[in-house]
Amino acid sequence: MQRRRGLWLVFAVVLFGLAAWLMLSGQGEVEVAPPPTVAFPKRLRPEERQRMESRRTYVMPTVDSGTAADPKPLKPTDPVLAALPRGKGKTAMVIEANAIRHSPLGELLLECMMRRGGDDLERFKKETGVDPLKDLDRLVITDEGLIVSGNFGDKKLKDLLSGRGSTNYDYGDGARIFEPTFERNLSDGGTVRRDGPRVGLWNDQMLVFGRSPDGVKQVIDRVEGRGPDEPPVISESSTYGEMYGVVSVEQLKKMFPPDQQELALKLAEVAENVELHVDARSDFAMTAQVKGSNADKVTDLGKSLGGALSLARMRAQAEGEKELAQLLDFAKVNPDGEEFRLELAVPLEVIKEQLAFCREQRDSTASQDAKPQEAQPTP
Amino acid sequence: MSGVLGIAGYVLREAAARKFILAFLLGVTGVLVTLSLSLRIEVVDGALAASRLFGEVMDTNILAVDVALRPIFMAAAAIVFYGGILFGIVSCSDFAPSLLSPGRIEHLLALPLRRWHILAGTFLGVMTLAVCAALYGSLGLVLIFGVKTGYWTVGPIISALLACVSFAAVYAVMLTTATVIRSAALCAALGGLTMVAGIIAGYRAKIAPFIEEGLSRELFKAVTLLLPRLSSLAQASMDLAASAPLGVQSLSMLLAGVLVFGLGMLAVGFWWFEGRDY
Amino acid sequence: MPAIEVIGLRKTYRRAFRRQGHEALRGVDLSVPQGSAFGLIGPNGAGKTTFIKSILGIVQPSEGAVKVLGGSPEDPRIRARIGYLPERLHLPGSWSSPAFLATVARLKGLTPDKAANLRLLERVGLADALGRRIGGYSKGMRQRLGLAAALLGNPELLILDEPTDGIDPIGRVEVRRILQEEVQRGTTLFLNSHLLAETERVCDRIAILAEGKVLREGRLEELSRGGSRWVVRFAPGADAGALASAGFTAAGSEGVYHVEASDAAGLNAALDKARTAGALLVELKRDGQDLEAVLASAMGVAA
């Protein structure tokens, strides 16, 4: 009886061994690689907060009308933010040159640029005294023009701008406005003069490019506290990411391909402003916050967008467009009351593949765009 | 063999008389009805809205709905799997201890049955109850999803069956516990512990690197080697429900392994029971 | 071939982590002939229930050999020929009695026979309670149902642990009748009872178990017989001295005397002497011990 009983124990041990082997082979030791996760920019990171605080360098001069009994001391502000356009319907995108430079994306871009025009860069450095790799801090693109912040104290730049028969004069407290004209010698011996962009140099740290002198002056006014009272389109708390800014609905409409006009119109109808943030520390991750006044419409728009994205992904998968499908794999819509957030990511690998042409084409055509594919709502 | 079936029938009859089956039916039906009334499938609206937006008749209609519903199916599969096992642990913990109670066990042991027939029959009876309840619940879910979304899937049923195999392993532990110490509470506790251990074992490759190198890690790997990989089965059922590729190499081997673990545990129970005095 | 044969049976219950176990049986030798009605009596804690469990394979002996119906109790085929009524029988409260009998019959491997089950229930006196749930039965009714379950399949050996426990006196008569019928059919009866009067009436062989050992064992008459002593009762007014010279010793109660006589002639001679002395005989019977006295004397306690 004891022997009979002992058989059960032997049986049990054998079964446990069999089970372990089955489960081990069934599960497979090699784990399927976890899908890459992307960190979307959603709020100020500590280093960004520090960056933001360190930029509050400029105290706007107050206009003392003599009525205030006890004038409050003004807190220092960030001059570049002050320079931004004010009010609704304006576009302003800030590109943090420093941050991008140190990201894999920036390195790729740089590589691209160097390979395409390494000598151009050197020449640029010699002529202007500005080293794009070191002296540029931020680049802001607005509807009116361009604002570049950095270190522009080099005399060569001033000489370049003031040379060639251009006018230049002081404006405001710390700015100098240049209106360069460019000459070109024609083959028949004559010269052509052409007006260049209007440039304002403020405090040796900000370059403002505009189409007209008034535009440039307006920007300088805003910096020095003479602008309208509305807050700038980008607030301090929104300065996270390597690229960030606000896109007006009109501009956004233009970015949609022609066969998506219905969605574009819907967007125009519902959205008041669209805030974009891009994180390029590893992969390219973008969030777009769409705010509107009507919560229902906004939610509806969000749903439509979400549906459109998943459908697009389905189609991409069905048609075998792996990259597009991969890109859309990371597309997500998060509704939240009166706004919704669209998240989109492009894995670094995809960008590398796209930029691979750089290495192949040394003499590229001038129209090639070095920037990575901007994520757009795709068909 | 007839002894095993006889005891299984005894257990089922007992369950019916104790209104167990009625309780199962009411409980599962209640959950299904609640789910059916309160489920609002927003994602469907979104995908269908998109289809309306584009204004074209889509050939891939079902596919789009399928994609949109994936998260819901995955969630349903997970709930069926883990919820089902938990429910089984709590509700079935008393069968074995009551069968082994004094007055009853002596009577059974005096019958012309081999001792292991009694345990095996109990196991079979309880598993029959579990499988029936699981199938009923999952069929209900399939119906709800089908009627609500127009998309019919066997995901919940597969999940329920995978959960049954997992429950078999868990219940084997509970039954063996009852032969050692006759306590429903202890059986339920050990059943829960087995479930947690099974979840950890499924993720052993991911957890192992977090454990200090050396003896502890080796011990962890050795112990989890033997335990049933319940979370892998849960993940497989979720993947199947979402028509995603399976993360495991071979589901059938994994399933067989968990089942064989249960049988091994039963064999331990038989061994102990054969030598036990009542 | 004896129905039950036990040689040197020992059982020690060991608890984990304790050196000293409880010795329930310390070497029991017993033989129960086939067709007999055997009663096991003894004080509480003597090991009677352990003994019964040992011969059924419910408890495994620490030492010794057990043979039941010519085979080992571990063999299911042997157990198929045994009917057992446990001491604390647990019956499923929500079933009906025919359902319970049907299930037990099925587990015993018998072909389902509803009619036979009903007859059995009638036999044990449960014909009126067929529709009711077992949970509503009285103690006596449960005992009868247990007995019915033990009788399923016409077993060769009936092992009953306290069969009339909780049954009223009238009921006990019926149960006794059933048991006697079974014995007459050739079934071996082995029962264990505290009710010594019941045991006396049903059994023909007795064993006394105390502290894990068999103290006395044998036929009932032999055990309870006091030898050649007679008890006589004379009408009041008998001459004590004359009776004493005739060989009668006073028994204590008024008019009750003992007399030793090895055969009928000696008895009648003594009686004639008493009657010529003027004593009027009212009652005469053999002086036998009842079971309680047997038990007490076996235990060494003064009656």
pLDDT band for position C295 (cuts 50, 70, 90): confident
Is C90's CB within 8 Å of B13's CB? no
Contact A318 B229 (CB under 8 A): no
CB C116 within 8 A of CB C108: no
Residue from B22, B107, B182, B273 to probe the interface with C (highest C Cβ count within 10 Å): B107
**A19 to B264: CB separation less than 8 angstroms, yes or no:** yes
Contacts of B110 in chain C (CB under 8 A): 56-58, 79, 82, 84, 86, 159
Domain-located, residue A120: yes
Closest of A212, A216, A273 to residue A248, by C-alpha? A273
pLDDT at B55: 41
Taking the CA of residue C128 and the nearest CA in chain B, the distance in Å comes to 22
| Whole-number pLDDT of residue B257 | 93
| Arithmetic mean of pLDDT, C135-162 | 91
Q: Give the closest of B49, B258, B274 to A303, CB-based.
A: B49
**ipTM given for this complex:** 0.85
Q: What is the mean pLDDT of residues A22-50?
A: 72
Averaged confidence pLDDT in chain C: 86
How many angstroms separate the CA atoms of B189 and B174, rounded? 9
| Mean pLDDT, all residues of chain B | 84
A207 shares a domain with A104:
yes
Rounded to an integer, the average pLDDT of B66-92 is: 83
Asked if residue A64 belongs to a domain, the reply is no
Nearest to B254 among A9, A11, A26 (CB): A26
Cβ within 8 Å, pair B107-C80: no
Work out the minimum CA distance from C207 to partner chain B, whole angstroms: 23
Secondary element (H or E) of residue B104: none
pLDDT at residue B110, as a whole number: 92
> Which helix (H) or strand (E) element contains residue A360?
helix A348-360
Q: In the structure encoding, which two tokens stand for residue A80, read together?
A: 């570049």
On the question of pLDDT at C105 being above 60, the answer is: yes
pLDDT on residue A365: 42
- Euclidean distance between CA atoms A112 and A126, whole angstroms: 21
Give the full edge-to-edge strand order of the sheet including C248-250.
C248-250, C256-260, C225-234, C281-288
Looking at the fold, whether A324 and A271 belong to one and the same domain comes out as yes
Decide if pLDDT at A231 tops 90. Answer: no
Q: Is B129 on the interface with A (CB under 8 A)?
A: no
Q: In the prediction, which pLDDT does B193 show?
A: 96
Q: How many domains does chain A have?
A: 2
Q: Strands, E, within C150-280: which ranges? A: 157-161, 188-192, 205-210, 213-219, 225-234, 248-250, 256-260
Residue C227 buriedness (CB in 10 A; 0-12 / 13-18 / 19+): exposed
pLDDT score of B188 more than 90 = yes
Instruction: Give the nearest partner residue to B110 out of C84, C88, C106, using CB atoms.
Output: C84
Please answer whether residues C71 and C2 qualify as being in contact, where contact means their C-beta atoms are separated by less than 8 angstroms.
no
- The reported pLDDT for the residue numbered A331 is 75
Judgement on whether residues A292 and A223 belong to the same structural domain of the protein = no
- Residue A345's identity, in one-letter code, is A
Q: For the domain bounded by C223-299, which CATH number is listed?
A: 3.30.70
**Could C108 and B112 be called an inter-chain contact, meaning their C-beta atoms sit closer than 8 Å?**
yes
Q: Is residue A49 part of a domain?
A: no
Residue A369 is assigned to a structural domain of this protein: yes
Q: By C-alpha distance, which of A349, A358, A356 is closest to A323?
A: A349
- Collapsing DSSP to helix, strand or coil, C63 comes out as strand
pLDDT at residue A114 in the model: 65
Chain B environment of C59 (Cβ under 8 Å): 277-278
- Mean pLDDT to the nearest integer, A320-329: 70
pLDDT higher for A97 or B202? Answer: B202
Q: Where are the alpha helices (DSSP H) in chain B?
A: 2-17, 20-38, 42-54, 61-78, 84-92, 95-99, 105-110, 115-149, 155-180, 184-202, 204-207, 215-226, 230-241, 251-274
**Residues belonging to chain A:** 379
Please list every residue in chain C whose beta carbon sits closer than 8 Å to the beta carbon of residue B272. none
Average pLDDT value over all residues in chain A: 74
Report the neighbours of A using a cutoff of 3 or more CB pairs below 8 angstroms: B
Farthest CA pair distance, chain C = 76
Distance in Å, alpha carbon of A90 to nearest chain B alpha carbon: 29
Tell me whether residue A3 is in a domain.
Answer: no
Q: Is A167 helix (H, G, I), strand (E, B) or coil?
A: strand
Chosen domain end from A179, A202, A234: A234
On whether both A87 and A166 belong to a single domain, the answer is yes
- Select, from the ranges C81-85, C192-196, C258-262, the one with the highest average predicted confidence (pLDDT): C81-85
Q: What is the DSSP letter of C156?
A: S
* B45/A26 Cβ within 8 A: no
Q: How far apart are CA C223 and CA B276, in angstroms?
A: 38
Q: In angstroms, rounded to a whole number, what is the distance separating the alpha carbons of residues C6 and C51?
A: 10
Distance from CA of B127 to the nearest CA of C (A): 20
Edge-to-edge strands, sheet with A339-346: A167-171, A175-179, A198-202, A206-210, A145-150, A136-142, A92-96, A243-247, A271-279, A284-292, A339-346, A332-336
**Statement to judge: residues A198 and A326 lie in one domain:** no
Q: What is the pLDDT of residue B276?
A: 87
Instruction: Indicate if the pLDDT at residue B106 is higher than 60.
Output: yes
pLDDT tens-digit map of C24-39? 899 899 999 999 999 9
Q: Which residues pair with A292 in a beta bridge?
A: A271
Q: In 3-state terms, what secondary structure has residue A39?
A: coil
Q: Does residue B198 belong to the interface with chain A, where contact is any CB pair within 8 Å?
A: no
Q: Is the pLDDT of residue A181 over 90?
A: no
Q: For a pLDDT cut of 70, what percent of chain C falls above it? A: 96
Full residue range of the structural domain in which residue A110 is found: 77-234
Verify whether the Cβ–Cβ distance A314 to B67 is below 8 Å: yes
Task: Show which of A234, A260, A276 is a domain's final residue.
Answer: A234
Taking the CA of residue B251 and the nearest CA in chain A, the distance in Å comes to 6
Please determine, for residue C267, whether its predicted confidence score (pLDDT) is greater than 70. Answer: yes
CA distance to partner chain A, nearest, from residue B254 (Å): 4
Q: Are residues A262 and A224 in the same domain?
A: no
Does residue A217 have a pLDDT over 90? no
Contact assignment for A22 to B251 by CB distance below 8 Å: no
Q: Binning pLDDT at 50, 70 and 90, where does residue A203 land?
A: confident
Strand C213-219 to strand C225-234: parallel, antiparallel, or no bridges (unpaired)?
Answer: unpaired
CA C156, C161, C166, C168 torsion-angle sign = positive
Find chain C residues with C-beta within 8 A of B104's C-beta: 90
This prediction's pTM = 0.63
**Could you give the CA distance from residue B163 to residue A235 in angstroms, rounded to a whole number?**
53
Q: Contact, C251 vs C232, CB < 8 A?
A: no
Spatial distance between the Cα atoms of B153 and B146, rounded to a whole number of angstroms: 7
Question: What pLDDT, on the 0 to 100 scale, is given for residue A378?
Answer: 42
Q: What is the mean pLDDT of residues B230-253?
A: 83
Q: Is A73 exposed, middle or buried (0-12, 13-18, 19+ CB in 10 A)?
A: exposed
**Residue A104: how many other CB atoms lie within 10 Å:** 16
Question: Is residue A263 in some structural domain?
Answer: yes
Q: Give all chains having 3 or more CB-to-CB distances under 8 Å with chain B.
A: A, C
How much is the pLDDT for B109?
93
- Whether A17 is in a domain gets the answer no
% residues pLDDT > 90 (chain B): 41
Residue C220 has pLDDT above 90, yes or no: no
Predicted pLDDT at C85: 93
**B12-59 pLDDT, tens digit each:** 988 888 888 888 888 888 888 877 776 655 445 555 444 443 444 444
pLDDT given at position C146:
92
Lowest mean pLDDT among A35-39, A260-264, C138-142: A35-39
Short-list B75, B51, B40, B55, CA closest to B149: B40
**Residue A90 shares a structural domain with residue A228:** yes
Residues A256 and A281 in one domain: yes
pLDDT band at B168 (very low <50, low <70, confident <90, very high): very high
Neighbours of B194 (CB within 10 A): 26
Same domain, A257 and A219: no
* CA–CA distance, C103 with B6 (Å, rounded to integer): 8
| pLDDT at site A27 | 80
The 10s digit of each residue's pLDDT in A107-153 is 777 676 666 556 666 777 777 777 766 778 888 888 888 888 888 87
Last residue of a domain, one of A234, A266, A282: A234
For residue A35, the tally of other CB atoms under 10 A from its CB is 9
Q: Which of B53, B261, B274 lies nearest to residue A8, judging by beta carbons?
A: B274
CA–CA gap between residue B92 and residue B168 (Å, rounded): 12
Residues of C in contact with B17 (CB under 8 A): 92, 94-95
The pLDDT, as a whole number, for residue C40 is 92
Q: What's the confidence (pLDDT) of residue C253?
A: 78
Flag whether A42 is in a domain: no
- Record: contact C106-B104, CB cut-off 8 A: no
For residue B104, the chain C residue with the least C-alpha distance is: C90
Interface contact flag, C60 B277, Cβ < 8 Å: yes
Query: Could you tell me which residues of chain A have a Cβ less than 8 Å from any Cβ in chain B?
Result: 1-2, 4-6, 8-9, 11-16, 18-29, 31-32, 262-263, 300, 303-304, 306-308, 310-311, 313-315, 318
Q: What is the mean pLDDT of residues C249-276?
A: 83
Which chains reach chain C with 3 or more Cβ–Cβ distances below 8 angstroms? B
Q: Per-residue pLDDT tens for A241-298?
A: 888 888 887 777 776 666 667 777 777 777 777 888 888 776 778 888 888 777 777 7
Query: Which distant-in-sequence residues (6+ apart) come within 8 Å of C252 by Cβ?
Result: none
Quick one: pLDDT band at residue A70, thresholds 50, 70, 90?
A: low
Subunit contact B109:C57, Cβ cutoff 8 A:
yes
Residues 6+ apart with CB under 8 A from A119: none
Residues 6 or more apart from C118 whose CB is under 8 A from it? C98, C127, C130
Q: Give pLDDT, residue C21.
A: 80
Mutant choice from B19, B95, B106 vs C, greatest count of C C-beta within 10 A: B106
**What pLDDT sits at residue B171?**
96
* Secondary structure (H, E, C), B145-156: HHHHHCCCCCHH
Between A84-98, B5-19, B83-97, C263-277, the lowest mean confidence (pLDDT) is in: A84-98
* Predicted pLDDT of residue C270: 87
A222 plus A81 within the same structural domain: yes
Report whether pLDDT(C154) > 70.
yes
